[in-house]
Amino acid sequence: MNVKLWTIISLLFMSLFVFNSCSEKDDNFSIWIGGSPEEVDFWEKVINDFNAKYDCNLILVRQPTYTDQRKQSLIISLEGKQQNPDLFLMDVVWINQFIQSDWLEPLDDFAVKSKFKTEPFFKRVLNLVDKYDDNLFALPVFMDVALLYYRTDLIVQPPETWEQLKELSLRIQEEQRKTNKSFDGFVWQGAQYEGLVCSFLEFIASNGGSILQNDSVKINSKENIAALQFMQDLIHKYKVSPENTYTEMKEEEVRREFQKGNALFERNWTYAWQLHNSNDSNVKGKVGMTILPHFKGHNSVSTLGGWHIGMSKYSDNKEKAWQFIKYVTSYEVQKQMVLTIGWNPGRKDVYEDKELKKKLSQLNLLEYVFDNTIARPTVPYYTQISEVIQRNVNNCLANKIPPVEALKEIEIEMKNIIKIYGEK
Ligand code: GLC
């Protein structure tokens, strides 16, 4: 065989090896993902494309819609050291616990071997969430921020303050209820689950409040009391948010209510935008999107949410799993994601894409929101803290306890948790 032919054959062989890692083994491997049905449908497509491109057999296992249940099912599998799932998406608030529980495979060696660069990602997010002790354990797939959706056919100018939101809600709700008894001013996430923690943080932070001050717990403050009082009043005093806010309202319940045409304002994550403007939406073409309101004299704030991909320590298919991580965080797939489902890419460089900037006017809005986010504490015992906030804030929304009692209780319980789980 002459040298030239031999070189061509070797190159062909090498390219097969590099681009087709799945051909090494025929086994299936799996990824667990939940979310709204439309979101999971989108994942199905991403995974089919990946399988076709790389001749792989990655199986999508559908998880429940909400973050708390998704975490529960994953923990059962990981605690049992099961090989299934190989891959999963993690809510930004679980990652620290997953790392500390030693459930995640570090990605550094895979990255080095395949010359994968982390520079295009948001450095602050990687350092805060995905890295630990200088090792990389996860990568952001999409970043969530909360926005205010409103009906452009019912109001001209969206509110800047919570007070204005209340006033507009009262006025438009009264008019609309003449023909639609189910109409409410403002729908938001108030049920007892993780989403309530996000709403609560936004209300208090947009009044200058917080849960930690100089690293120590400070919850029972006048800013927090006023903000929580306002949340309770939206339901019970002004009655612009429905009674089921504290029993049922989670992302999908809120989105569906607004999408049916039954609300003037909605607090939701970015995913709702495309769905509100889909063909089967009653509010298609009548929706505006802007930053959340703030209390007078303060700034609008959004909780930082989002979903990151990680690989199980117990996976038997780590090379293939890495192939998918690379695929899903690639520029092309991330761009596709924002175009088809409206998620904010986990990569920073995609936000600079000229075509996207032209097509998606909201990218400018998002830039502001990203600069004004509040992160939930990145500690392994976050679940315990979240549970305390969820339970007490929800009790207050149900009118069982006044704001000051709820906040006092959160402060006491949070301090205990920190004592038990050993904060430095
Ligand atoms: C969204 C966010 C996530 C948050 C959850 C709360 O999925 O991305 O970070 O915890 O909503 O319901």
Q: pLDDT tens for residues 224-245? A: 999 999 999 999 999 999 999 9
Beta carbon of 195 within 6 Å of any ligand 1 atom = yes
> Domain check: are 34 and 151 in the same one?
no
> Domain check: are 76 and 177 in the same one?
no
> Domain check: are 351 and 407 in the same one?
no
Q: What is the pLDDT of residue 210?
A: 94
Ramachandran class of 208: left when φ > 0, alpha when ψ lies in -120 to 50, beta otherwise:
left
> Domain check: are 228 and 359 in the same one?
no
d(CA 351, CA 282): 30
347 neighbors 331 (Cβ within 8 angstroms): yes
> Domain check: are 343 and 405 in the same one?
no
Beta carbon of 144 within 6 Å of any ligand 1 atom = yes
Beta carbon of 223 within 6 Å of any ligand 1 atom = no
d(CA 169, CA 167): 5
Cα atoms in the Cβ-side hemisphere of radius 13 Å centred on 153: 9
Q: Any idea which residue has 């667990």 for tokens?
A: 32
Low-confidence ranges of the chain (pLDDT < 70): 1-21, 23-26, 422-424
| Mutation to probe ligand 1, out of 194, 341, 370, 394 (largest number of atoms < 8 A from CB) | 194
Q: Which residue has a Cα nearest atom 1 of ligand 1? A: 305
Q: Which residue has a Cα nearest atom 11 of ligand 1? A: 195
Q: What is the pLDDT of residue 372?
A: 87
How do beta strands 131-132 and 135-136 pair?
antiparallel
Q: What is the pLDDT of residue 15?
A: 45
CA angle at 146 for the pair 181 and 65, rounded to the nearest 5°? 75
Beta carbon of 242 within 6 Å of any ligand 1 atom = no
> Domain check: are 8 and 71 in the same one?
yes
148 neighbors 267 (Cβ within 8 angstroms): yes
> Domain check: are 137 and 149 in the same one?
no
Q: CA gyration radius for the chain?
A: 23
Atom number of ligand 1 nearest to Cα 306: 8
Beta carbon of 93 within 6 Å of any ligand 1 atom = yes
Domain end: 355, 371, 387, which one? 371
Q: Which residue has a Cα nearest atom 3 of ligand 1? A: 305
Ramachandran class of 315: left when φ > 0, alpha when ψ lies in -120 to 50, beta otherwise:
beta
Atom number of ligand 1 nearest to Cα 305: 9
- What is the distance in A from the centroid of ligand 1 to the CA of 9? 49
Beta carbon of 306 within 6 Å of any ligand 1 atom = yes
> Domain check: are 188 and 313 in the same one?
no
Q: Looking at beta carbons, which pairs linking 110-116 to residues 24 or more positions away fall under 8 Å? A: 110/318, 110/319, 110/322, 110/325, 111/136, 114/322, 114/326, 116/326
Q: What is the pLDDT of residue 4?
A: 55
- Taking the model in full, what pTM does it have? 0.92
Q: Which residue has a Cα nearest atom 6 of ligand 1? A: 195
Q: What is the pLDDT of residue 212?
A: 85
Q: What is the pLDDT of residue 361?
A: 74
86 neighbors 53 (Cβ within 8 angstroms): no
> Domain check: are 150 and 111 in the same one?
no
Q: What is the pLDDT of residue 11?
A: 46
> Domain check: are 244 and 254 in the same one?
yes
> Domain check: are 164 and 265 in the same one?
yes
> Domain check: are 242 and 284 in the same one?
yes
What CATH number has the domain bearing residue 340? 3.40.190.10
Structural domains of the chain, count: 2
Structural domain boundaries enclosing 100: 3-143+304-371
Contacts of 351 (CB under 8 A, 6+ apart): 345, 363, 366, 367
Atom number of ligand 1 nearest to Cα 250: 12
